[in-house]
Structure 1
Amino acid sequence: MSWPLSLLRAGAVAAAGLLLTTSVTGCFSNKQNEGAKLYQTHCASCHGDQGEGLRRLIPPVAASDYLVKHRNELPCLIRQGLNGPIVVNGIEYNQVMPGHKTDLTDADIANLLNFIQQNWGNHNPPYTVREISELLAPCNGSIIR
């Protein structure tokens, strides 16, 4: 029995689509909560479980105007840390924030920032890994594994 060429092509396209869908779903399923996990591991002990900060000592990341005003600086801030005053939501903070010089990849920083950018009253555009790498260039902070 000979199958019509159009039927064979349709079957091949359907199989490829199913394979692609399965591959893409599998690729993202393990990373779905990566940003939240990274936040809990690296940020929550200071900035709070809900990004609320700590009174006038540690600034909030929840509903933070700093995230919008300093979007391009955030990857280097995470990589290098911060020492000196900053103003968040009209309040000045002046505590040392340790950096993550070797323990977070560019993709980790993208996942972490995207989690913060989309939670706790923040509705800011997400980052791509490429964008994070480009923004890390001025501070020589790009780590790709």
Structure 2
Amino acid sequence: MSWLLSSLRVAAVAAVGLLLATSTTGCFSQKQNEGAQLYQTHCSSCHGEQGQGLRRLIPPVAASDYVANHRSELPCLIRNGMKGPVVVNGILYNQVMPGHPKDLTDAEITNLLNFVQQSWGNKNEVYTIREVSELLGPCNGSIIR
């Protein structure tokens, strides 16, 4: 009888552990993949599915020296867009990049930037939401919902 109780306890602990593991995964999986989803929705049509850009028209974000070297400018660039010449990986680009003045929160910009910072050969430091909010301050771009 004691082995039965012991077996039931082990099974109960395993079931609770499995339940916690799957419910925790469910809670965080959307946020964990939010940056990739936001990139797909807002960026990939121009910068490409793999961040490769479009020939000499639209700069890459994959293995991009610009992404690595302009960290403090990137949140405002996403919020307000960009126009005028820019050099990325030694190539001059001069197209308009639309911004997202009202549709992305600070947290979403953070997740989007962190996805780009860690994808396609980029190995850059990730952002915190606080950092992104502070960087958005000078361009009047902070949105918190």
**Range of TM-score over shorter length:** 0.7 to 0.9
Cross-structure match for 2:62? 62
The letter for the 2-side match of 1:30 is Q
Q: Between 74-83 and 22-31, report the one with greater CA deviation.
A: 22-31
Cross-structure match for 1:134? 134
* TM-score, normalising length: structure 2: 0.82
SS at match of 1:92: strand
1:36-91 per-residue CA deviation (whole Å, 9 max, x = no partner) reads 00000000000000000000000000000001110000000000000100000010
Q: Provide the C-alpha distance between the structure 1 equivalents of 2:69 and 2:43, rounded to a whole number of angstroms.
A: 20
Within a 5 Å distance, the mapping from 1:1-145 to structure 2 comes to: 27-145=27-145
Contact 2:68 2:122 in 1 (8 A): no
**Paired residues, what number?**
126
The letter for the 2-side match of 1:122 is N
The letter for the 2-side match of 1:124 is N
Q: Provide the C-alpha distance between the structure 2 equivalents of 1:140 and 1:104, rounded to a whole number of angstroms.
A: 13
Q: CA RMSD in A?
A: 1.5
Contact 2:62 2:120 in 1 (8 A): yes
Q: Relative to total residues, which structure has the larger helix share, 1 or 2?
A: 2
Q: Provide the C-alpha distance between the structure 2 equivalents of 1:24 and 1:86, rounded to a whole number of angstroms.
A: 42
Q: Provide the C-alpha distance between the structure 2 equivalents of 1:31 and 1:44, rounded to a whole number of angstroms.
A: 19
Shift of 1:31: 1.0
Q: Provide the C-alpha distance between the structure 1 equivalents of 2:49 and 2:109, rounded to a whole number of angstroms.
A: 18
1:111-135 per-residue CA deviation (whole Å, 9 max, x = no partner) reads 0000000000000010000000000
Q: Provide the C-alpha distance between the structure 2 equivalents of 1:51 and 1:92, rounded to a whole number of angstroms.
A: 17
Please list every run of 5 or more consecutive structure 2 residues that lacks an aligned counterpart in the other structure: 1-16
The letter for the 1-side match of 2:100 is H
